Amino acid sequence: MFIKEVVPSFVKNSRGERSIQIEIVTYEGKFRCSAPSGKSKGKNEVVSYNKKGIEHSMKMLRVFCLKLKHKNFIIKKIGHLEQVVELMRRFEARFGKFGGNVNYAVEGVFLKAAAVDNGKELWEFINDDVNDGLRPKMPMPVGNCIGGGLHSKKINGKRPDFQEFLLIGKEKNFGRAVTKNLRAYEYAKTLLKKKEKAWRVKRNDEGAWMTSLTNEEVLEILKRVAKKYSLRTGIDVAASSFYDGGYYRYKNKELIRDKVDEVDYMARLIRKFGIFYLEDGMDEEDFGGFKTLCASVVGSEIRRKPRKLIVGDDLTTTNLKRVQRAVRGKAINAMIIKPNQIGSILEVKRVVEYCKKNNIVMIFSHRSGETMDDILADYCVGFGGQFLKTGIYGRERLIKMKRVMDIEKSLG
């Protein structure tokens, strides 16, 4: 794979912020990859850009890209990316870190080019390496229907404490599940109008409806929506965002819970509202709290098809050591995978392999600041993710779902 040209540039993400895009030109064509950006970040994530900021990362990247021009790379599988990664390490040793978002874009664009160079789709290139070419199963969409927390603005001084109220398909066909989520999303708007006086139609960072209702009021609406469309429900609590000084400080109803109360509250919500999926119900360092919650909801046995998912995101941050600690401690039975969270697709591959050996459900996830790149869909299908969390509404979300639908159609 001969590199004729490498062009780094800035692009805007869905929040209107600048992000990094890289284009490479080979004899097979032009390839682009851009990096998403998170707002609600676990403190154990890799930094997105150089400590001096995105501008400095771009200055470094422009110099580094000159070193890639007119070089030849033989990339027949994911592990061969090490050739590029090693060049980046040497450069960073002299000039400082690029940041996880830059790594994401560089590795992604090289994988796209390598797939075509090998006569394959990207998902197929990954699948042949990771799953020995076995026919992949399509994931189910996890859609953010109603929002709160750090992703949403306050309405009349209030918003739900929980960050995301989710709808999750259970169809055999990904496209049908997406359609159901979209219809349910519109029905949720109708119910919000009835429930909340003077409600204005407003969406948050991820295209979810914003509201001033309490967590429980939103869950009542979500339960009605899910029942009408035969969907499952979920919550991304993002508990670390309101955990302070050893207590969970709820703002919407002005109350405080300690660690024991928080576990009990999460378990009660799951039972009362029939919640299938609960993400980050405890603080990101509370492995013990996750373990107690998982034991209460799931039990000691980790099944291949669990009835309930206790999901780690800020807890695990796509970091193999933290994932191992969580799994060995029976703290989770599912986890979020965000490639830019760890800043290395080689690390993602190791995490995926570990999850598969230990029957941990994998949810490949977007970020709140997304770009028009659809590479996440190929990652999810290729690595064998059971779920794709990429919102319901917004062009940056829909393009990823469309990519999965295109893959699904191609498989017949």
- Residue range 65-85: mean pLDDT, rounded: 96
CATH superfamily for domain 5-119 = Enolase-like, N-terminal domain (3.30.390.10)
- Compute the residue count for the chain: 412
Cα angle 392, 130, 304 (rounded to 5 degrees) comes to 65
Strands 29-34 and 164-168: unpaired
CB 202 within 8 A of CB 180: no
Alpha carbons 370 and 39: distance in angstroms, whole number: 11
Q: Please, which pLDDT band fits residue 59 given cuts at 50, 70 and 90? A: very high
DSSP 221-267: HHHHHHHHHT-EEEEE--GGGGEETTEEEETTTTEEE-HHHHHHHHH
Residue 277's beta-bridge partner residues?
234, 309
| Contact status, residue 369 vs residue 342, Cβ threshold 8 Å | no
| pLDDT tens-digit map of 27-56 | 999 999 999 987 767 788 999 999 999 999
Name 64's Cβ contacts closer than 8 Å, sequence gap at least 6: 87, 88, 91, 98
Provide the pLDDT for residue 394. Answer: 94
Residue span(s) of the chain under CATH 3.30.390.10 come to: 5-119
Burial of 51 (0-12, 13-18, 19+ CB in 10 A): exposed
Closest CA to 138 of 393, 357, 410: 410
Domain with CATH 3.20.20.120 in the chain: 140-411
What pLDDT, in 10s, does the model give residues 299-343?
866 666 789 999 999 999 999 999 999 999 999 999 999 999 999
Query: Positive or negative CA dihedral for 277, 281, 284, 288?
Result: negative
What's the distance, CA 138 to chain centroid?
Answer: 17
Q: What is the pLDDT of residue 301?
A: 60
Separation CA 233–CA 145 (nearest Å): 10
> CA 363, 120, 177: angle at the middle one, nearest 5?
35
Round to whole Å and give the CA distance between 405 and 389.
14
Q: What is the CA radius of gyration of the chain?
A: 21
pLDDT in tens, 96-135: 999 999 999 999 999 999 999 999 999 999 999 999 889 9
Q: Tell which CATH architecture fits domain 140-411.
A: Alpha-Beta Barrel (3.20)
* Token output for 160: 């739900």
Place of tokens 């989770």: 332
| Helices vs. strands in the chain: H and E counts, helices first | 13, 15
User: What was the pLDDT predicted at 150?
Assistant: 86
Structure-token pair, residue 111? 């994988």
Confidence of residue 157 (pLDDT cuts 50, 70, 90): confident
Q: Rounded mean pLDDT of the chain?
A: 95
